[in-house]
Structure 1
Amino acid sequence: MVSRMDPYEIMEPISGGAFGAAILVNHKLEKKRYVLKKIRLARKTERCRKSAHQEMDLIARIKHLYIVEFKEAWVDKGFYVCIVTGYCQGGDIAALMKKSNGDFCLNILVANIRKYLHSKFVLHRDLKCFNIFLTKDHDVCLGDFGLAKTQKAGDLTSSFQIYNFCCTGCCIYEMAAHRPAFKAFDMDGLISKISCPSIGALPPCYSPSLF
């Protein structure tokens, strides 16, 4: 019996958790590496299963230079949603910031991603430096659309726009300052800080009027 996994060779696990697993695979014919995300459906709530299918459908229809490449997706025997995307060899921005003290010139690219998603009525809902990846050539790619949702054109609200702008701003601040814009010990504390924002100063290499 032919399997959708037949063209791929499993290389190594990348991450895992309650959602399922992310696995590095190699396409045998193309000789190219991809990431296989397996989202567990068994023993999950209807809401979780619906979310997994939404992620599969959404990422299949968005194509942009700065969004992780979509290869293919399928449902494996009703137990897993399988999504194959491009492999970003450079890791994520958050990890890179820990290794480097240098400045980042990615702000305009992150803003371009936000603008594209907004044009497609997509709310990412998990836009952070951990989900912004780099290719081996250090091109930026946004990934992980597990929490994303699509808004209808008539449903766009000011809160939709504010959320997109706010998350983009937090990422840009973190890339500039090498620290999160808001940090707290728990969710209540985080909400409190966001509601009454007091953001720390940027490093002296930036103009005080930037923020």
Structure 2
Amino acid sequence: MENPTENPWKVTSEKNVYDNPWINVTEYQVINPSGNPGIYGKVHFKNAAIGVVPLDEDMNTYLVGQYRFVLNQYCWEIPEGGGPEGSNPLDSAKRELLEETGLKATEWTEILQMHLSNSVCDEFSVIYLARGLQQHEAEPEDTEQLLVRKVPFEDVYQMVCSGEITDAVTVAAILKVKLMLVENRL
């Protein structure tokens, strides 16, 4: 192994197997790191996953509840959505917060960037903390049937710790904000 950080995968061919406005799936014929032939599938996301932790002056945050089709279950999570490739993630975060909760914020801090499932997809997430909140009218998309709950931040942290909240963006965001609180960085 000359350089362990270099790509050990060799692509011999690739085929687009599925495409829609949100994702693209490509199947690759490869020579794997052991030198054997194989296949690898990649899901490319056409939007960045955008998350927002709205935090008011009384240390409340806002959760959005909705039925998640893929999981076939109801979930509570921070306001989140997609930001088209090439767009400003902060603009997408502001849009998502208003759409889902009706909130606008005067202070925005990027708190986290992360890949969500790097073994099969390239989905990338940018998460913000929003402060200086003002209530306006929510503008949900026609695909969204949402409930919004104002919840003390510590209660949401406990929901993450107990496994009641399992959404990866929400879990990472709440744990990051909790760490920032513990370290007096808010």
Q: TM-score, normalised to structure 2's length? A: 0.25
Higher relative contact order (CA 8 A, sep 6+): 2
Q: TM-score, normalised to structure 1's length? A: 0.23
Higher strand share: 2
